[in-house]
Amino acid sequence: MNTRCLIGDDEPLARELIRGHILKLENFEVVDECDNAMKAMEALRNHNIDLMFLDIKMPQMTGIDFLKTLKRPPKVIITTAYSQYALEGFELDVVDYLMKPVTWVIGFTFIKSFGESMEVYLGWFSYYLITLPIFVAHTYLVAYLLVPYFLNKRLLPFFIVLFLALFYGFSVVELFLSNEFIFKWYQTGAALSDQYLTPANVIMSGLGNLYIVLVFLAARTIRKWYYADTRSKELLHTELQQQMENALTRVQPHMLLYAINQIDRMVNESSPDVTKAIALTSELLNDVMIYHEEKYKLFSGEIELLRKLVALVTILRERKPDVEFFVSGDPGQIKMPPMILFTIVDMIFRKFEKETTLPELNIEASGYSNMITVQILFDGTKKHEATEDCLQTLQQIESCYKDQVSMNIESHSYGCSIIIRNIDSSTANTIHPFADAINTPQQVVN
């Protein structure tokens, strides 16, 4: 009566190798294969299993946890690459522990000598110990020499000749070693014959070895496809990350980080305005993205963004910044690099984020002179230090826009001021219809 085997492993290559060795044995058959514990449980219900090869690391449920659910498990051989589970496995009365791939020879020896004496066990152990290097050498020569250097280069005649030579040569070596050094000295139950090197015997033995080679090549090909697909996904992911980084750059990343840090603080302090801060941050970032996507970037749009920035800082700091914004003339005539004013105000807010008070900002945008004037007014004992820090920040902005605008920065007793004029019309805001013009000074943000 055949020993009915069940293979439970989520790795296709491992299942192929185990099945290949089982099929070479007499009185053994594989009745089912499973890639997870749930399917293995169903297979045990549907079949009368004598021996189960069970992997530890499987999806849904580990092999160890699966064994613990079985009231009457069959004989079990654990197959895994994790030696730390050996003790726990033997506590569950497994008959053997098969480490992948180094000690597979022990497991296959157990299969071959299942129910036999120790002498038979030692015989088959010696057989696999001697012949395993032959199988490995044959497989690697085909996979890493013949295929890449002959088959892939379309040298088909040379590939066929060398493939057949390796096939026949390694079969002869395997038969010679097993018959002369194993079967004559150990009682394995294998039939002895003086004519073991006949072409028919060599070919039959080689077909069994060839199965292992083909399985390895198939697994190697699948692995290449998998890695190629993984690499493609990694490149797409990298591209997506780059797109996100570009997007973050456009939506003022420092402003975003500042808002996130402040929102975290509000969460820790259980502030009732957390939801409002999150909503306004999201709205502001979305509006900035939309503004950058617009073909014609109107200066009036930047004014609206600045108004929302002031509202956001008001919530985050729980105190409204003192910001006055005056627009005179037609704002469509103000031709400045997009987001320059937003960047200046944002950087000033973040520069003083650890201070109890923010400097007062008086901003005048003139459509008549195509110029923006920003006055930064300080109050307190650290006026001089704050002025120097602010001047340094504004000089950094000037270096970023040096080819597009001219910036005159001056220090005063009350703080500092900056005058911005456009010198590069190609980066300017496009004039919008006159109907949007503001002809009289108007306080926009107060």
Beta bridge partners of 6: 32, 52
What's 11's DSSP letter?
-
Taking only the tens place, the pLDDT of each residue in 105-159 is: 555 666 666 667 777 777 777 777 777 778 778 877 887 788 888 887 888 888 8
Among 67-76, 142-151, 394-403, where is mean pLDDT lowest?
394-403
Q: Could you report the per-residue pLDDT of 196-238, keeping only the tens digit for each?
A: 888 888 888 777 667 667 766 666 676 676 667 666 666 665 6
Identify the band that residue 177 occupies on the pLDDT scale cut at 50, 70 and 90: confident
Q: How many CA atoms lie within 13 A of 88 on its CB side?
A: 13
Residue range(s) occupied by CATH 3.30.565 in the chain? 251-443
CATH of the domain spanning 1-115, picked from 3.40.190.10, 3.40.630.40, 3.40.50.2300, 3.40.50.300: 3.40.50.2300
Identity of the residue numbered 208? G
| pLDDT confidence bin for 7, thresholds 50/70/90 | very high
Looking at the chain, which residues constitute the CATH 3.40.50.2300 domain(s)?
Answer: 1-115
Residues in the chain: 446
Q: Does pTM top 0.85 for this prediction?
A: no
Which among 338-342, 379-383, 425-429 has the top mean pLDDT?
338-342
Tokens standing for residue 297? 């970037």
pLDDT tens digits for range 266-304: 888 888 888 888 888 888 887 887 887 777 777 788 888
Class (C level, CATH) for 251-443: alpha beta
> What was the pLDDT predicted at 226?
64
Tell me what pLDDT residue 439 has: 33
pLDDT at 283: 85
Task: Calculate the alpha carbon distances from 380 to 38, 347, 358 in Å.
Answer: 72, 20, 11
Residue 89 identity: G
Look at residue 438 and tell me whether its pLDDT is greater than 60: no
Give the integer Cα–Cα distance in Å for 212 and 204: 14
pLDDT for the residue numbered 427: 44
Q: Strand 442-443 and strand 323-328: pairing?
A: antiparallel
What percent of the chain shows pLDDT beyond 70?
Answer: 70
pLDDT at 182: 77
- Lowest model confidence (mean pLDDT) among 79-93, 348-362, 422-436: 422-436
**Residue 94 predicted with pLDDT over 80:** no
DSSP 331-386: GGG----TTHHHHHHHHHHHHTTTSSSPPEEEEEEETTTTEEEEEEE--STTHHHH
Helix (H, G, I), strand (E, B) or coil at 34: strand
pLDDT for 260 equals: 81
- State the first-to-last Cα distance of the chain, in angstroms, to the nearest integer: 93
- 262 burial type by CB count under 10 A (0-12 exposed, 13-18 middle, 19+ buried): buried
Angle at 14 between CA 9 and CA 20, to 5 degrees: 115
